[in-house]
Structure 1
């Protein structure tokens, strides 16, 4: 039996931490660097979140949205085609609420709506030929830090922790919106700033894109209540938060429900800690 597309138990991607699972869907924490599924742009890759989770659960799974390869965090799969179709429609209709954390250069905006149309990035056609699509992201500065190190022109260097909530789902939307506003995400090789990426890679031992999907809420296709899921950060990003004094903003794996009736109370539970940490 061919095994080249399977997630070998000897790899660091052998088990995806499961934050929530029921009979119809499962939410996992995707590590930075892992593709969601096969793509023509990465023909040489043999490991994907889709195959890893399929092998882990021993059943078919169906991705209902995507995360960029360097982005870590919450990734949702359906366990049957009907649920995949329903959840896919929720994402398309922009009824799924998503929350991300990002580390950016500079002191980011306290609170701002970034409303800038984006042209889809397509390797087959020049970007100038692609139609601009509406794109909107809500951003909020949660914290900041000043380091006594000259990375660029100034003797000190400042970075901010930004919460981003995209209302649309354009490719690289958060990365492009923040970069266009003058606050590139650290570790973004395409839209970021090379000097700062190198500083984090060489001096802070953090070579990755500092963008993580940490929260999601949507109407459960079976129970019809709203399901809220939060996801913890990977070890490298968590350690950076601790180093910068941002421990108070660290998310944890957690799940809560809200009934359709506004008078109903919320039920909250923390997910069981995983014995596997994908680095």
Structure 2
């Protein structure tokens, strides 16, 4: 059954379609995580694959796993160096006037006893850049395709709320939190010297389909 989650596989990499609701790593609020299931993605290897990057628990889609430590280090360097092309699709609670744009909002982290931690715009924070285009409009909500240059924690969620002026539908922290969060890691591509690129596209998940956005042209 685990093969159905695999979008790409070779001797050093696996890209899986991570379901929404499953954290990549365990934590105090996420005792169940992908780490509980990595044994099922060995596919003949003795070693369990390791996640190279993270997706938020409520974000579905393309997640890269490395099948050995050398590949893990190399892929992490590629992410840090901005060599991985990532595309996300989101539904936001409103319709931006422009058809496309660039959001450049540095981000920092804040924490309070009442609300816990969250990411906020911070002129002294880490550089954070996202490109976006409006793909469709339906029921006063827009489907946005994001291509981030950087990969900060909660970057697209904050950039949608603060840069576009409309939070991602269902976002429990930066939006209204009604229903599932409609953010999906649509595709991932990483060039490799002497090998075919790692490339995968994850189909839109049931959350988008159930919300009426399963047939949008991206």
Range class of TM-score, shorter chain: 0.7 to 0.9
Deviates more, 1:119-128 or 1:89-98: 119-128
- Aligned partners of 1:121 and 1:80: how far apart in 2? 35
- Aligned partners of 1:125 and 1:237: how far apart in 2? 25
Gaps of 5+ in 1: 1-8, 147-157, 199-206, 251-279
Match of 2:184 among 190, 212, 217: 212
- Aligned partners of 2:56 and 2:33: how far apart in 1? 12
- Shift of residue 131 of structure 1? 4.5
TM-score by length of 2: 0.85
Instruction: Please list, as runs of the form range in 1=range in 2, the aligned pairs for 1:31-50 lying within 5 A after superposition.
Output: 31-39=19-27, 41-42=28-29, 45=31, 47-50=32-35
- Aligned partners of 2:90 and 2:54: how far apart in 1? 18
TM-score by length of 1: 0.68
1:98 and 2:90 correspond: no
Describe the SS at the equivalent of 1:174: helix
Superposed CA offset, 1:35-71 (max 9, x none): 10223x42x61x3213313234364111110001111
**Aligned residue in 2 for 1:154:** none
Match of 1:120 among 109, 112, 116: 109
> Aligned Cα RMSD in Å?
2.7
Describe the SS at the equivalent of 1:87: helix
Q: How many residues align?
A: 209
Gaps of 5+ in 2: none
Match of 1:141 among 134, 138, 154: 134
- Aligned partners of 1:180 and 1:229: how far apart in 2? 29
- Shift of residue 183 of structure 1? 1.2
Whether the aligned pair in 1 keeps the contact of 2:120 and 2:158 (CA below 8 Å) is: no
- Aligned partners of 2:26 and 2:73: how far apart in 1? 20
Describe the SS at the equivalent of 1:84: helix
Structure with max Cα Rg: 1
Superposed CA offset, 1:181-206 (max 9, x none): 311100101101x2xx43xxxxxxxx
1:60 and 2:45 correspond: no
- Aligned partners of 1:121 and 1:213: how far apart in 2? 25
Match of 1:111 among 97, 100, 103: 100
- Shift of residue 220 of structure 1? 2.7
**Aligned residue in 2 for 1:151:** none
